[in-house]
Amino acid sequence: MEHKKTAKRLRCIVKLGGAAITCKNKLETIDEENLKEVSSQIRQAFVPESTSANVIGMDWSKRPGQSEAPTFINDLCDQPVADSESFIVVHGAGSFGHFQASKSGVHKGGLSQPLVKAGFVATRISVTSLNLEIVRALAREGIPSIGMSPFSCGWSTCQRNMTEADISMVIKAIDTGFIPVLHGDAVLDTLQECTILSGDVIIRHLAAELKPEFVVFLTDVLGVYDRPPVEPGAVLIREIAVREDGSWSVVKPKLEDTSKPVEFTVAAHDTTGGMVTKITEAAMIAKLGIDVYITKAGTDHSVKALSGFLKGGIPDDWLGTAIRYMS
């Protein structure tokens, strides 16, 4: 397949973890405060000249609870266009989509079953509604974001492995100055009829095709731990080295019991594999020579990761997990 390229250099792919921007235990509930903070940090990182005072909001639709649409800025035509760096946002589903998918078994396939077909529709309604709200949050920060669904772009799988992923519209959007916002989605599968394509798999594919300078995963915890972070004595893994064959090992800190594998928890309703998938996909990205940073959304640590500050080296006071290729 001919390698696709953007005319603009892609600075970064940002993954907004579903748990960081939604309320995990409340069905289809957005964490408005976190989403607003993350959107503001993304603007500060990728629209260098912008300040909160000179942001031109791009969400001109009526907000829930308001009686009328926002007032348009009269002198909009006189405003210079803020020059944004090129980046892509991919978000997880959090409390959107997972419930519908797991209850109907969409990830296992079988569109001929009424429950699965209904679940496919219900899942897409849920994840696309979240996508719209994230696009709106970024637009309110003056980021020219465009929602893009993998299903609508013609992305499909075979036995849950990506087979078709036309990124031509993603490239056109970037080259025209827009910021694509993609999400995990219910897609068609040539062998099992349908499945769920996770945001982490999408990021790995985009990274392989478009070669960003770095990738940032923003989550609800500081990074990857040697065991579930709620357990006593859980240690934050600071750096993971990825070998040429795709295998990986912990470089920092030196763990006491290296024979014990790193443990991860997966929520019962998560049909995409949770942290296990995230690490596997992140390792495959790092194998391409692209640094991956996993850290907590809405913190000083996420600001440093988004800004590219970590490319020069990981400071001791930065809390997160860096995943890098070890040549």
Specify binding-site residues for ATP: 94, 220, 274, 278
Cα Rg of the chain (Å, integer): 20
Q: Which helix (DSSP H) or strand (DSSP E) does residue 207 occupy?
A: helix 199-210
CA distances from 301 to 91, 108, 217, 290, 305 (A): 19, 37, 12, 19, 6
Does the CA dihedral 166-204-182-10 come out positive or negative?
negative
Angle 65-71-77 from CA coordinates, rounded to 5° = 145
Specify binding-site residues for substrate: 93, 98, 199
Tokens of 323: 């995943």
Is the Cβ–Cβ distance between 185 and 93 less than 8 Å?
no
Contacts of 33 (CB under 8 A, 6+ apart): none
3-state secondary structure of 68: coil
Our measurement of the distance from residue 300's CA atom to the centroid of its chain's CA atoms, rounded to an integer in Å, reads 19
The rounded distance, in Å, linking the Cα atoms of 43 and 51 is 9
Q: Looking at the DSSP assignment, which residues form a beta bridge with residue 293?
A: 216, 322
Q: Quick one: which of 203, 212, 235, 218 has its CA closest to 300?
A: 218
Burial track 67-78 (b if 16+ CB lie within 10 A, e otherwise): eeeeeeeeeeee
Specify binding-site residues: 93-94, 98, 199, 220, 274, 278
The rounded distance, in Å, linking the Cα atoms of 50 and 39 is 13
Nearest 5°: phi and psi at 289? 90, 15
